Amino acid sequence: MRTPAITPRRKWRSPLTYNLKWHEKAIDDLRDLDRKTQKKIIARIKEYLPKDPVGLGKPLKGMFKGLFRYRYGSYRIIYAIDQREEAIMILRIGGRKDIYDSTAM
């Protein structure tokens, strides 16, 4: 009996690119950061998230169900995906310690 070949798992990638939309709170969150960090976070979001928002992010649970988070260093980017409009809404950007506070959203 022959054993099946093991193939590496590949993440599914969407053939489309999502549009980015920014919530006012996310823009305010960015303004609170130094210019260098702002540029790094924005570049990372623009480069990676539109290509595969589901595969790169982690779905949130509990009161944040339906939202995703993307980790960049000690920062968390909270976002929602609108499949119909093929858009990603960036909701909040902040440190891990306080981003999940119920008053933050």
Q: Quick: pLDDT tens for 9-34.
A: 445 455 678 999 999 999 999 999 99
Residue 103 has pLDDT above 90, yes or no: no
Containing domain of residue 94, as a range?
Answer: 19-99
- The confidence score (pLDDT) of residue 16 equals 72
What DSSP assignment string belongs to 34-102?
-HHHHHHHHHHHHHHTTT-HHHHSEE--GGGTT-EEEEETTEEEEEEEETTTTEEEEEEEEEHHHHT-T
Is 67 part of a structural domain of the chain? yes
Q: Quick: pLDDT tens for 31-80.
A: 999 999 999 999 999 999 999 999 999 999 999 999 999 999 999 999 99
Domain count, the chain: 1
Is 95 part of a structural domain of the chain? yes
- The confidence score (pLDDT) of residue 105 equals 61
pTM of this structure: 0.81
**CATH (domain of 70):** 3.30.2310.20
Is 9 part of a structural domain of the chain? no
